[in-house]
Structure 1
C-alpha cells in the first residue's frame, strides 16, 4: 500500500492498482470504521460477497456524504471506470436503459466501495442473460411491533412452502431488522413469471401462518405481521446482497446463515468486526449455493393457477383510477429526509396526545419512497384503532416536499 497524490491511497489487489480516496474518512463513527477499513473488510469477505453480487449488473447506491445523509442511486457506471470493471446494458420497464457496473473480481469490489457504496445492490440476473432471473428473492420485512421470534417462525413456514414445491432457500439477515431467503432457480422464466411465483409463495405463507405473515402489498393493511415482500422480484428492483454493510450506526452486515442457527441469530449480532471474525473462523455459510442444482418454478406457478388471481385493491370513484384505501388514513408529511419525517411525526403527536395513546405500533407508517435516483419520505397514520368520533380530520401537511416525478414506489 502506498500513498498517492492528495488525500488518497493506492492499494494493490490481485495485480490491479485501486485508488482509495479519503482513506481515513470515518464512515461509522460509533465503531470507528474508516473508508479504508471498509475496503479491507470487503476484500476479506470477497469470495462470499462476489458469490452474492458477482457477475450481476448492480445499481450503485452511493453514500458520498456519509451514513447520516441519504444515498443517491446511480444506475449508469462512471465513464472512467477501470478495465477490470465489466458492464451490461439494462433496459428498464419504463423504456429507459443504462449501462450498469458488473463486478467479477476483488479489485472491482474495492473500486465500488471507493465510490461510497456501503451495500451491494445487484439485479437477480446474470450479465449473460438479462431477461431471465436466476434468483427468486424472499424478503421477510417485519412491521413495527414484530419481534425476531415471529420473523423466524414465518421464515420456517416459507422454508416449508419452498420445500413443498421443490425449492431450496438460503437464509441471510437483511442487515436491518428482517431476513432474506435466496432461492437459486433455472433462468427459464421472465420477470413477470418470477414475480408471480414470489407472490404465490407469499400468499401461501400467509395462508399457513395467518396473522403472523402477510402478503398484502399495502402497508396499512398488514397489521403487526411479517410482510413477505414479493415485489422485490419485480423488474428493476434490487436487494442488498450477502455481506453488504448497511447504513446503520453499528455497521450491521447482511450475513448468510445456516438454517440450524437462524433462530438464535439476531441481526444485531452481525457487524463488520464480528462478521470478519466469523468469516475467518468458518467461511461463508452460503458457500454451497452455486453448487446446488437450480430449482424449478413449475410447482409455484401451478399453485398460482389453483389459488387464482390475488385480490386487487378498490379504486377511487373520482375517475383518476387511484387506489382507494380500505383503512382510515391521514397523511402527516412528505419530506426529503427521514429525520425531517420523524420530526414532523413528533410534531403531529404533540398535537394529538389522546389519539397517539390509542395507536398500535404498526399504525404509524413512515415510508421510504424510492424513485429512480433518490429517496423521499411519506408519513401517514392509520386511525383504525381510534373510535370514529375521536379521529382527527386530515390537516394541512406539516411538511410538503415536492419529490421528483420519477414513478416513486414505497420501499
Structure 2
C-alpha cells in the first residue's frame, strides 16, 4: 500500500519517504509525496520558523479522514542530526522535543505523517523565555474571516502606537495570527500578561466585535483573543504548516497590505509553492527586529491600578496560578449558589 519508497534531497541530505502514494487528502487526491514536495518547496521558510524551537508534531497516519495524534516527545528513531531540547510542562513532567534546524528535519517529520508543526515560542538556548508574543484572533460562531480582518486592523494600529510591529499570517482556518518578535527577557507568565493586555485594549476599542472572555458562554458572536495561547506548553500551528482540512490549506504568512484582498482558501499546498517562488518568505526578516515588552507590561499595571483588572483564567489542565480568578464558568458558579 502506498507504493515503493522514494528518496528526497533536502538541504544536502537524503531523506527516505515510505508509502509516497498514500492518499492524505481524499477530495483533491493529494498524497504523502505531495505533502513532502510542498514542504520542500517552502523549505527555507518553514525552516526559519522552526529553527531551534521545541516542536510538537500533529500526525495523521491515515490521512485527514483518519485518527490523528499530537506527538510531543521525540520519536525513538530520531536521527542524530536532529537536535532536541528538554522542556518542562506545567504539570511538572518533562520531555525531549525535536528542534528542527534544517529542511531535512521537516521532510523526516512528513514521512511520519506529520501535517502540522506546533513550535514553542522559545529557542532551545532559552527555554523559559519566549522570543515571540503570539496573538490569536479566533472567530467564534456567528463570525467569519472578515471579522478577524477588522480586528487585525485595529490590532495593527494599536501595535503601531506602542512602537511594535506584528507579523501576520492566516491560521489555515477562519482566524488570524499575529506574532511580535520580542527580546527573550520575560517569562511565560509575563508574556501572557502582555497578551491579555493586548486583548483588553482591542476589547475596549471594539467592544461589540472583540472579547477576551475565557468562558464560551460569555463570548457571543465576537472575535476571541485567545490569550492562553501564550501560556507555557500552548502552541500554535506555524507559518507554512499544512492544516488537516479537506482542501489541504496552509497557514500563510502575509504582508499587512494584502490583508483586505485575501481569503484563507487562497493558500494550499498547490498555490503556496507558486507564491513562495514569486515572493520568497515574506517574513524573512522577522527575527531581525526583536522588541521590548516594557510598554505593554506598564499598560497592564495601569489597567490593574485604574480599572481593578488582573489575571484571567488559565486552561483547565494547568495548576492553580498565583492571582488567578476562580476557574469556574459563570453558569456553574450561579448554579452552586
Q: Is 1:195 matched up with 2:200? A: no
Q: For the aligned residues, what is the CA RMSD? A: 1.9
1:66 Cα deviation from its structure 2 partner: 1.5
Provide the TM-score with structure 1 as the length reference: 0.74
Higher helix share: 2
**For residue 302 of structure 1, what is the aligned residue in structure 2?**
298
> 2: distance between equivalents of 1:51 and 1:9?
26
SS in 2 for 1:183: strand
> 1: distance between equivalents of 2:106 and 2:312?
42
Q: Is 1:246 matched up with 2:251? A: no
**For residue 169 of structure 1, what is the aligned residue in structure 2?**
166
**For residue 94 of structure 1, what is the aligned residue in structure 2?**
91
CA gap 1:329/1:259 in 2 versus in 1, 3 angstroms? farther
Out of 123, 127, 138, the residue aligned to residue 120 of structure 2 is 123
CA gap 1:233/1:7 in 2 versus in 1, 3 angstroms? same
1:271 Cα deviation from its structure 2 partner: 1.1
1:311 Cα deviation from its structure 2 partner: 7.1
Q: Is 1:213 matched up with 2:213? A: no
**Number of equivalenced pairs:** 317
- Higher RCO (C-alpha under 8 Å, 6+ residues apart): 2
CA gap 1:95/1:7 in 2 versus in 1, 3 angstroms? same
1:207 Cα deviation from its structure 2 partner: 0.4
Higher mean Cα deviation, 76-85 or 242-251? 76-85
**For residue 330 of structure 2, what is the aligned residue in structure 1?**
325
1:327 Cα deviation from its structure 2 partner: 8.3
**For residue 139 of structure 1, what is the aligned residue in structure 2?**
136
SS in 1 for 2:199: helix
Counterparts in 2 of 1:69-84, with a 5 A limit? Answer: 69-84=66-81
4+ residue segments displaced more than 6 Å: 327-330
> 2: distance between equivalents of 1:322 and 1:51?
37
**For residue 185 of structure 1, what is the aligned residue in structure 2?**
182
CA gap 1:211/1:282 in 2 versus in 1, 3 angstroms? same
CA gap 1:328/1:197 in 2 versus in 1, 3 angstroms? closer
CA gap 1:140/1:327 in 2 versus in 1, 3 angstroms? farther
SS in 2 for 1:43: helix
**Structure 1: runs of 5+ lacking an equivalent:** 1-5, 314-320, 331-411
